[in-house]
Amino acid sequence: MESKEVNITCITCPLGCAITVKKKGDEYEVSGNECKKGKKYAIQELTNPVRSITSTVKTVFNDFPRLPVKTDREVPLQDIFIFMEQINTVVVQKRMKPGDLVLKNVKDTDINLVATGDMAEIQD
């Protein structure tokens, strides 16, 4: 069986290491990483890539028409558009602050959507 080689730029720290990953049988050979996080990241990118979703949702407030939000943990990369289908239907009905729960159990998972913006009322 021929080994496959993949080049990845690591994003776990500011170094941005150019990492090479080779799969040999059931094992991964990782080189180019300057820290231990790079090896873990590179293998995860090949086996089960995940991302945090950051977006905005509509609100009913004229002074704050969109609220920035994010998932409370990473989701499988292949499922981002499935999650976004539901996130795009959300309309916030009450003022929120960072960390407030916007949507529980997105797409029937244990992943929640939380506010990252502060909707404090604008004082005249």
Q: What would the pLDDT profile of 73-121 be if each residue is shown by its tens digit?
A: 999 999 999 999 999 999 999 999 999 999 999 999 999 999 999 998 6
**Same-domain pairing of 60 and 97:** yes
- 104 plus 69 within the same structural domain: yes
State the pLDDT confidence band at 1, using cuts at 50, 70 and 90: very low
Residue 53 has phi, psi (to 5 degrees) of -100, 125
Domain match, 65 and 104 both: yes
Confidence of residue 72 (pLDDT cuts 50, 70, 90): very high
Q: How many domains does the chain have?
A: 2
Q: Considering the domain boundaries, does residue 22 fall inside one?
A: yes
Domain assignment present for residue 121? The answer is no
pLDDT of 2 > 90? The answer is no
Looking at the structure, tell me whether residues 64 and 88 fall in a common domain. Answer: yes
CA separation for the pair 80, 5 (Å, rounded):
26
Residue 90 lies in a domain: yes
Are residues 38 and 66 located together in one domain of the fold?
no
20: domain range? 4-47
70 contacts 47 by C-beta, under 8 angstroms: no
Q: What CA–CA distance (Å, rounded) separates 88 from 106?
A: 11
Query: Does 81 or 2 have the greater pLDDT score?
Result: 81
* 36 in any annotated domain: yes
**Residue 25: per-residue pLDDT:** 86
CATH number at residue 99: 3.10.530.10
